[in-house]
Amino acid sequence: MSHGGDIYRNKVNMDYSVNLNPLGQPEDVLNEVKASLKLASHYPDINQEDIRNKLAEMEGLDSSFVYAGNGASELILAVVRALSPKKALIYEPAFSGYEFALNALNLADHEKKTTKSIEMIRYLLSEENGFKLSEEAIDAVQENVDFLCIADPMNPIGQNIDENVLISILEKTKKIRTYVLLDESFLFMSEKADSVNDQYGIKKGIIGRAELIKNYDNLIIIRSLTKLLAVPGIRVGYVLSDPDNIRKIKRQLPEWNLSVTSEAAIRAGVSLIREGTFVGKTLDVIRTEREFLSRSLREMGIKVFDSDTSFLLFESDVDLYNKLLERGVLIRDCSGFVGLRRGLYRIAVKSHEENEEFVRILNEIEGNK
């Protein structure tokens, strides 16, 4: 399975295949990262003391509930290893990283020749229903499923999970001892960022999940700052879970997994988020531009799926991937996602200037068909 962002083997002027904050990199973050290079002559703190404290304080948790990683991809692998499930359920379509991690564990088992592989079950969400994760889908979580992967918002769909459905899942899985990996990589840039804040009465810009973590010791949340801070080249993610789970996850990570630049990006990111206006401004521009793109695409007769975040799934009968690439625009062809078919594409929500240019190019292509 390929990923977005492959600018290394394509000639790309506009990358609509990765979903980063349309506001771009905050200057403070880049400055702090630059300044951190003077620390490159020291090993990073093997205990992540300062970083864990800062993240924990932001989340309203004790630092024993938090661990930082060299990007979300490192943490997904470590979580899967730490919990070593026997039967995993993935709601598809989903980010391929969960399957990558489960396969890695299977390959290690295969090498040993002594272990049964992880059984992987896929629950295909229906296109007619807009790929919504509904109460019905929860029935698929049977007694013997010990690991469940979900994302909020889902990727590549872009919809937030209904909070009541999420709570139903957590209640059921807590009872039958199923671990839930909740991938919130894009949560900071989704509509739920506002509503969750309202729910927990937390200042706009900080997304409270402390209550969930404290109530459900079977829940593992993965967060990313990569998207919000627009720094995918500097790897920054973190995991929130019960201290017992965190201890297990830490044992599956390299002893020094964070570089000083990752540490600095987290430090700067936390300051920026706590300052209060940055996430709000980000949500505003994403909402405005998502609506602009949806409307423009729909005006061309394109079917656009509902999204609550910084990317959009849509349908076209034109070979858009190649036709756009010819014009230097990289988008995500979604036919490789399990449960999605040819003709579905994902685009990022970018700045208004870029989005206008994108719409112009797309109009040209769709008009010529």
Choose, by CB under 8 A, the member of 13, 49, 244, 360 that binds its own copies: 49
Kindly tell me the number of DSSP H helices and DSSP E strands found in the chain.
14, 13
Q: Is 155 in the site for its own copies (CB under 8 A)?
A: no
Instruction: Report the distance separating Cα 217 and Cα 241, nearest Å.
Output: 7
Q: Is 103 in the site for its own copies (CB under 8 A)?
A: yes
- Nearer to its own copies by C-beta: 41 or 322? 41
DSSP, collapsed to helix, strand or coil, labels residue 315 as strand
Residue with tokens 């068909």: 369
Instruction: Report the distance separating Cα 214 and Cα 164, nearest Å.
Output: 17
Instruction: Report the distance separating Cα 94 and Cα 148, nearest Å.
Output: 12
Instruction: Report the distance separating Cα 246 and Cα 366, nearest Å.
Output: 49
Instruction: Report the distance separating Cα 33 and Cα 246, nearest Å.
Output: 26
Q: Is 74 in the site for its own copies (CB under 8 A)?
A: yes
Q: Which residues pair with 276 in a beta bridge?
A: none
Choose, by CB under 8 A, the member of 14, 90, 105, 331 that binds its own copies: 105
Choose, by CB under 8 A, the member of 47, 126, 129, 335 that binds its own copies: 47
Q: Contact region for its own copies (CB under 8 A) — 33-41, 119-127, 204-212, 353-361?
A: 33-41
Backbone angles phi, psi at 359, to 5 degrees: -60, -40
Q: Is 137 in the site for its own copies (CB under 8 A)?
A: no
Shortest distance in whole angstroms from residue 231 CB to its own copies: 5
Q: Is 164 in the site for its own copies (CB under 8 A)?
A: no
Q: By C-alpha distance, which of 315, 306, 307 is closest to 342?
A: 315
Q: Is 26 in the site for its own copies (CB under 8 A)?
A: no
- Nearer to its own copies by C-beta: 96 or 160? 96
Q: Which spans of this chain sit near its own copies (rule: CB under 8 A)?
A: 3-9, 15, 18, 20, 24-25, 30, 33-34, 36-37, 39-47, 49-50, 70-71, 73-74, 76-77, 81-84, 86, 97, 100, 103-105, 107-109, 111-112, 114-116, 230-235, 248, 251-252, 254-257, 259-262
